Amino acid sequence: MKKWQVHEKETYIDTPFVKVSRESCVLPNGATINDYIVNQYPDWVNAVVINKDYEMVLVHQYRHGAREFFSEIPAGKREQGETDIEGVIREVREETGYTSPYPPVLLGEYFVNPAVQTNRVKTYLMLEAEQTMQQKLDKTEDIHIEHVPFHEFFRKCQRGQLQTQLLSMNGYLLARSYLDDIGYFENGEIEI
């Protein structure tokens, strides 16, 4: 297999959040695609945050693309000069006011939508989190905090009682696998 060759590239949108380009590509078999759209986003971080009552700490907010409200795990992009861990701790603190006495555990790193997006998301787990401060929201954010028992999250989503998105569901499944592997819910002790 060979990669596609880009012969022309024109950028339509260039903001701090996304760069959108149109590319003309030649495929290994000689076929051409003249209007392939690529969205260049910065890498993202997100976190499954679990409090001392074994509840997921979710952010409930409006998402204009879907024109709906969603309950999601806290997420965002790193600020300039931040490590991934610094970025996820800051995002969780700003969106929820929650902090954890333990360092975040990396659950996985995945491309978001490699067909048309260039970015990855790193998903972390934060345990025994407590709300130690007020939210510090941007002027464009209106976020309400929700608490859902960890073991009810999946069922609530399946039954349509909770609307979430794929990155949050992926985070939950990664966290569930990790926590099952370490026996977290069996003995309540953290061994990271």
Residue 25 domain boundaries? 5-40
Say yes or no: 35 and 112 in one domain. Answer: no
pLDDT in tens, 35-74: 999 999 999 999 999 999 999 999 999 999 999 999 999 9
pLDDT at 191 over 90: no
Say yes or no: 23 and 62 in one domain. Answer: no
Tell me the C-alpha distance between 5 and 15, whole Å.
25
pLDDT in tens, 102-143: 999 999 999 999 999 999 999 999 999 999 999 999 999 999
Tell me the C-alpha distance between 90 and 97, whole Å.
9
pLDDT at 192 over 80: no
Is 188 part of any domain? Answer: no
| Neighbour-count burial for 34-56, b at 16+ CB within 10 Å, e otherwise | eebebeebbbbbbbbbbbeeebb
Is 192 part of any domain? Answer: no
pLDDT in tens, 75-103: 999 999 999 999 999 999 999 999 999 99
Q: Return the pLDDT at 187.
A: 63
51 - beta bridge partners? 129
Would you place residue 188 in the very low, low, confident or very high pLDDT band (cuts 50, 70, 90)?
low
Is 189 part of any domain? Answer: no
* Count of domains observed in the chain: 2
